[in-house]
Amino acid sequence: MTPDPSRDTPSWHFGPKHALFGVLGLMTLFVIYNNERFIVDHSDPAWTYYFPVRFLLIPHGLAGVICLCLGATQFSTRLRQRHAQVHRTLGRFYVTGVAIAAPMGIYITIQHNALPSRIAIITTASLWFLTTAVAFYCIRRRNFREHRQWMIRSYAITLTFLLGRVIDAVPALNALDADTSPNMIWLCNVIAWVVPTFIISWQNIVQPQAQTPALAHQLS
């Protein structure tokens, strides 16, 4: 009897996760054009702002780009199930990227930013490092459920790089400079913590666990 390959290979379908990462891809292209072209266009005012720390930005920026790109692959069920070793290798690169980018971000802001922004950026970088470290610890302990949850939190903080710059492009909010405004940074920190909480808890929200008879009697 000839095996049916469709039973071993699940059919691909476009779902909410694909739409989300499609939007993130468009946000990335927008941010590169709107905010990061000073890297090649030195007439851009942002070049003058970043010039004093330009050499520090190279390792920080490259590590951040690695995290931004490779973090998305960690949520691919198909990659995780079919190519577990590739999934683990990319995950290690992500963790390494955070281990470089987060401390570098703290060092750069201490050297370059005023105190209000410095506190906000140090908070973001510290949370980024902490959530990633917890995710790595969980996978080393083979606690897959907690690992996924902490990876969601970690990648949400990674995405604050895009979120702040996209919000800053909204005409009504362009007074909040994503690079220098502590208000924008704190807003992104709140979003990066609240949204993952809803994502992680969504299944329990829409499908609450059945109550035990004793608990149901107490609540009645």
* pLDDT: which is higher, 13 or 220: 13
Closest CA to 153 of 124, 187, 196: 196
**Residue 88: HSE in the Cβ half-sphere, 13 Å Cα cutoff:** 9
pLDDT at 213 over 60: no
Please determine, for residue 95, whether its predicted confidence score (pLDDT) is greater than 90. yes
How do residues 14-73 score in pLDDT, each as one tens digit? 667 778 888 888 998 888 888 888 888 888 888 888 888 889 988 999 999 999 999 999
- Position 1 scores a pLDDT of 42
pLDDT at 219 over 80: no
Q: Is 190 exposed, middle or buried (0-12, 13-18, 19+ CB in 10 A)?
A: exposed
CA-to-CA separations, 220 to 207, 211, 213, 215, in angstroms, rounded: 20, 12, 10, 9
Q: How far is CA 121 from CA 100, 124, 149, in A?
A: 15, 5, 23
Q: Tens digits of per-residue pLDDT, 99-148?
A: 999 999 999 999 988 888 899 999 999 999 999 999 999 999 999 999 99
pLDDT score of 10 more than 80 = no
pLDDT, tens only, 163-179: 988 888 887 776 666 66
- pLDDT reading at 91 higher than 90: yes
- Break the chain into its structural domains and give their ranges: 17-206
Measured between alpha carbons, how far is 81 from 9 in angstroms, rounded to an integer? 11
Burial string for 15-37 (b: 16+ CB within 10 Å, else e) reads eeeeeeeeebeebbeebeeebee
| pTM, 2 dp | 0.81
Q: Which of 120, 131, 180 is nearest to 156 (CA)?
A: 131
